[in-house]
A and B are shown apart, each in its own frame.
Chain A
Amino acid sequence: MQKEIIIAGFGGQGVLFSGQVVAYAAMDSGRQVTWIPSYGPEMRGGTANCTIVIADNEIGSPLVKNPPLAIALNLPSFDKYEDTLQKGGTLIVNQSMVDRGAKRGDIHVILVPCNEIAEEIGDKKLMNMVAVGALLTALPEITLKDVEKALEAHLPARHKHLLPKNYEALKRGFEAAQKIPA
């Protein structure tokens, strides 16, 4: 098994952290994983992305041209990764930040209003965790429980009080994505 995921959005949307959460969950469930951020000039202009590769065996390339899975937290990322996604792949899109639907018919585009859901929970910063929850519907190798355990194990102690709301964000994202027919 090998799955590649790209998570992309504006700086400040928690792109890199949400990727780390997925990587921790993969590691703790006994798999190989790589997490690699864009750094330097790519990040100028406010966009950030990271690539996560999850596998059973030693991972070769940590970078991937056409991922089967991606999260686009803003419109520029939607534009970019809708084009590069593998045929049959799944793209989770933060509907709150885009003003259009899918162009391609050969991929699954799942529009989830991550900002609104996060605000309903009471903290707009949880938007990235809503998106991760949605991603898990297309990543059966990692369960909601795996991600919850990873957050509990690796979140710094000073942030532990935020765990329940993070769990709720993950769950709400998962449920929202599940409701959308594939």
Chain B
Amino acid sequence: MTRELWKGNEAIAEAAVRAGLEAYFGYPITPQTEVLEYLSRRMPELGRTFLQAESELGAINMVYGAACAGVRVMSTSSSPGVSLMMEGLSYIAGTEIPAVLVNVMRGGPGLGNIAPSQADYSHAVHGGGHGDYFPIVLAPASVQEAIDLTVLSFDLAEKYRSICMIILDGSIGQMMEPIQMPEMKPIQRKDWEWATNGKMGKRERRILTSIYLDPYAEEVTNLRLLERWKHIQQDEVRYKEYFLDDAEFVVIGFGTAGRVALSAVRAARAQGIKVGLLRPVTVSPFPHKVIDELVQRVQGLLVVEMNTGQMLEDVRLSVKGRVPVEFYGRLGGVVPFPDEVLSEIQRVASSRLSLEVNPREEWFERMMAH
């Protein structure tokens, strides 16, 4: 297969098309706009639906409608735009229908800036919309992985009647890398047993809703969502590991922070430090089990993120205080350089680590001392 050089945002758009994306609704926002721009040409060319909505609120509710009809549907946005979509996303979760939402994250909170950031981790993984629901969240670190996960996201969303979010930062959206595109799949609109696609006088009426006025009925729904989530946790955890076999220390980072850490880990290895890297690919479900296994044979962990330590909390849940956890973060749209992560690895490998310290507070003190 020949390789082609693609920009992350456009690659996600084409991957979605090839995965059978039948309808796209969106609204422009940097650094995501190329997805929308690309699909504005590509979708009509194939006779599929592209619609630039009047706002993010409009776009997500159009996604809601199309998803109810059993259509493969997607929207994409960037942090402030995704915030606007949260009400609709909660309704989609409550209605138990599949939908794909891509967040090309930028610096925040508020209007923030358009630089690469991972500050929406908690927003994606632990909440966002109101109510008890558990979104699947995928975090690619390269253009090829963004393509592969886009294709996967539709299958996962449909398999579990769930929201599947892809979170990447602006740098992956804007970066070009050699990739291989998947084969073009024809659109196959499945007649899901739940889809409100017109009974044509041939079957019973189907109702899709997120309203359960009876609290006991809502509780049953919440339990159904939780049961589904347990299957997802069991079967859909994905991660990549580097140099873990003999690692005494392990760096954990997702997306761009993870690949920057790879450069640092290689440099540290060249200096004789036995360090490895774990890069979660699904940040929800989180790879708790593999961390649990690592904890039993390593001396310490270093979490690296482009936020104030949002994934750090999930790592600490896996670790349960058994080994020291350290943290390094850059904020506001600043991407760490490998040498910063390398000095952190050197610090962790050469200091007497303690189980008692709060990694975020220690890191904060170091940041403020600079």
In the complex, whether B30 has a CB less than 8 A from a CB of chain A is: yes
In the complex, whether A121 has a CB less than 8 A from a CB of chain B is: no
Inter-subunit contact B5/A35 (CB<8 Å): yes
The docked-state distance in angstroms from the alpha carbon of A64 to that of B3 is 24
In the complex, whether A100 has a CB less than 8 A from a CB of chain B is: no
CB distance from A35 to the nearest CB of B (A): 4
The docked-state distance in angstroms from the alpha carbon of A65 to that of B339 is 9
In the complex, whether A24 has a CB less than 8 A from a CB of chain B is: yes
* B: interface residue count bin: 20 to 34
* A: interface residue count bin: 20 to 34
The docked-state distance in angstroms from the alpha carbon of A154 to that of B4 is 9
0 or 1 for each of A28-56: is its CB under 8 Å from B? (1 = yes): 00001111110111000000000000000
Inter-subunit contact B170/A39 (CB<8 Å): yes
Inter-subunit contact B178/A41 (CB<8 Å): no
CB distance from B81 to the nearest CB of A (A): 16
Closest to A38 in B: B174
Kindly list chain A residues whose C-beta atoms are within 8 Å of the C-beta of B178: 27, 32-33
With A24-B5, A39-B170: A33-B177 Cβ-Cβ less than 8 Å:
yes
With A39-B114, A40-B31: A60-B338 Cβ-Cβ less than 8 Å:
yes
In the complex, whether B171 has a CB less than 8 A from a CB of chain A is: yes
Among B30, B115, B177, B262, contact of A60 (Cβ-Cβ < 8 Å): B262
Inter-subunit contact A63/B259 (CB<8 Å): no
In the complex, whether A74 has a CB less than 8 A from a CB of chain B is: no
With A23-B5, A24-B5, A34-B176: A40-B115 Cβ-Cβ less than 8 Å:
yes
In the complex, whether B40 has a CB less than 8 A from a CB of chain A is: no
The docked-state distance in angstroms from the alpha carbon of A23 to that of B6 is 11
Closest to A50 in B: B176
Inter-subunit contact B115/A35 (CB<8 Å): no
CB distance from B79 to the nearest CB of A (A): 14
The docked-state distance in angstroms from the alpha carbon of A63 to that of B338 is 9
Kindly list chain A residues whose C-beta atoms are within 8 Å of the C-beta of B265: 60
Closest to B262 in A: A60
The docked-state distance in angstroms from the alpha carbon of A63 to that of B335 is 9
Kindly list chain B residues whose C-beta atoms are within 8 Å of the C-beta of A154: 5
Closest to B340 in A: A65
In the complex, whether A62 has a CB less than 8 A from a CB of chain B is: yes
Kindly list chain A residues whose C-beta atoms are within 8 Å of the C-beta of B3: 27
Among A20, A27, A62, contact of B171 (Cβ-Cβ < 8 Å): A62
Inter-subunit contact A35/B176 (CB<8 Å): yes
0 or 1 for each of B260-272: is its CB under 8 Å from A? (1 = yes): 1111111000000
Inter-subunit contact A40/B337 (CB<8 Å): no
In the complex, whether A58 has a CB less than 8 A from a CB of chain B is: yes
In the complex, whether B346 has a CB less than 8 A from a CB of chain A is: no
Inter-subunit contact B337/A61 (CB<8 Å): yes
Closest to B174 in A: A39
CB distance from B141 to the nearest CB of A (A): 9
Inter-subunit contact A60/B259 (CB<8 Å): yes
Kindly list chain B residues whose C-beta atoms are within 8 Å of the C-beta of A60: 259-266, 338
Output the residue of A24, A58, A61, A64 with the most chain B CB within 10 A.
Answer: A61
With A27-B5, A39-B170, A61-B263: A34-B175 Cβ-Cβ less than 8 Å:
yes
The docked-state distance in angstroms from the alpha carbon of A40 to that of B114 is 7
**27 A-B contacts (beta carbon < 8 Å):** A20-B176, A23-B176, A27-B3, A27-B5, A32-B178, A34-B176, A35-B5, A35-B175, A35-B176, A36-B174, A36-B176, A39-B170, A40-B30, A40-B31, A41-B113, A58-B262, A60-B259, A60-B261, A60-B338, A61-B260, A61-B262, A61-B338, A62-B171, A62-B175, A63-B260, A65-B339, A154-B5
Given A58-B262, A60-B263, A62-B175, 8 additional A-B pairs, CB 8 A: A27-B3, A32-B178, A33-B177, A39-B174, A40-B30, A59-B177, A60-B265, A63-B337
7 pairs of A and B residues whose beta carbons are closest in the complex? A60-B263, A60-B262, A35-B176, A61-B260, A40-B114, A61-B263, A27-B178
Chain B interface (Cβ < 8 Å from any Cβ of A):
3, 5, 30-31, 113-115, 170-171, 174-178, 259-266, 335, 337-339
Chain A interface (Cβ < 8 Å from any Cβ of B):
20, 23-24, 27, 32-37, 39-41, 58-65, 154
